[in-house]
Amino acid sequence: MNIPTYEINEKIVNLVADITEKLAHLEINIDEKKDLLLRKSSKIKSVNSSCAIEANSLSEVQIISIVNGKKVIAPQNEINEVQNAYNAYTNILNYDPYKVKSFLEAHKNLTKNLQNESGVFRSGDVGVFDGNNVIHMGARPEYVSKLIKDLFNWGKESNLNPLIKSSIIHFEIEFIHPFSDGNGRIGRLWQSLILCKYNNIFEYLPIETLIYENQEAYYEVLLASEKEASSTLFIEFMLKMILQTIEKFNNDNFIKVNEDYFKGLTKTEKEVLSALIVYFNKDKLIETSRVASLLNKSKVNIRKYFAKFMKLGLLLPIGENKGRKYMLNEKIFNNKNN
């Protein structure tokens, strides 16, 4: 059986320790926020970033519209790509990270209506090129099935911390390049899958967003790891991305409000306010039209909710009626989670 090559150095050990500590802290804070809205927001961000890495031009707002069943004027292949990715991330826990059959099923779901060899290992050679220069050549097609099977058998038997193991498997998938297309998407999905199985809090952490924001470094470290024939550098990189995702999540999502302000609100009004707490930061503005799109509700109803929130002092209007935006009342909301 082929065994991945890597080294667990001091930097990796320290990163794992930092992530574990922050995860424990995050689990305490997120306990009251484990709802469908927050999970959906994470999936949308993951889809947006993972597709953008592959040159998909659709914005997060357009992706939200597609997810909510609304029409979007865009190339059909990009719409299909988004729909496929959202379906894959939404059903991520249904996949088994160490079964080849599940791996092929996930690829089929990711690439449905996008390529001929969907859900099957490639039949020919494939490589990554920069102009006429070969950057990476995948394994010969006759060896792909065995290499993936060996990788998953190793993963299932290995007692490595899943933070490290998921990074190794992500790298090895990119190195083997098992499909004619969609290797990057399936590699990132598979690392997210292993992490979600390890701790379901990762369902709320869109790690792909940090990868997208560091896309150039992502490809550089993949190439450097390949040249060294070891995933060590890639492990370090991905652990940094995971750590930064957790830190960013803390800063962006834990806006606190006195529970007294929820009294007197209907169930639907509480859901809308909770949605605003997720999507808002105290220094950000938002329009009723965007909230209507995010929550798939009519603008008329959103305006009614906003009117009540303003009456209670939860929201502050900025600007005239036409094009008016809103912000959270800083005297009530707090963006600190410590």
State the CATH number of the domain containing residue 204: 1.10.3290.10
Per the structure block, which two tokens stand in for 211?
A: 């990868």
Is 335 within a domain?
no
Write down the pTM of the prediction: 0.78
Total number of domains in the chain:
2
Is 309 within a domain?
yes
Contact between 57 and 74 under an 8 Å Cβ cutoff? The reply is yes
- 152 and 115 in a common domain: yes
Band (338; pLDDT cuts 50, 70, 90): very low
Domain boundary residue among 204, 224, 253?
253
What is the Cα–Cα distance from 44 to 51, expressed in whole angstroms? 11
What is the Cα–Cα distance from 181 to 116, expressed in whole angstroms? 10
More confident residue, 316 or 142: 142
- 151 and 97 in a common domain: yes
What is the Cα–Cα distance from 256 to 251, expressed in whole angstroms? 11
Q: What is the pLDDT of residue 336?
A: 45
- 198 and 64 in a common domain: yes
Is 1 within a domain?
no
**273 pLDDT exceeds 80?**
no
Per the structure block, which two tokens stand in for 160?
A: 């490595």
Average pLDDT over residues 240-269: 75
Band (324; pLDDT cuts 50, 70, 90): confident
Is 311 within a domain?
yes
3-state helix, strand, coil in the chain (%, to 5): 65, 5, 30
Three-state secondary-structure class, residue 37 = helix
Q: What is the pLDDT of residue 327?
A: 83
Domain boundary residue among 189, 221, 253?
253
Domain boundary residue among 253, 285, 303?
253
What is the Cα–Cα distance from 89 to 48, expressed in whole angstroms? 11
Mean pLDDT check: name the lowest of 27-31, 148-152, 299-303.
27-31
Residue 199 amino acid letter: N
Q: Tell me which residue range forms the domain holding 36.
A: 10-253
Average pLDDT over residues 201-208: 90
- 144 and 78 in a common domain: yes
pLDDT in tens, 86-108: 999 999 999 999 999 999 999 99
Q: What is the pLDDT of residue 266?
A: 84
More confident residue, 105 or 295: 105
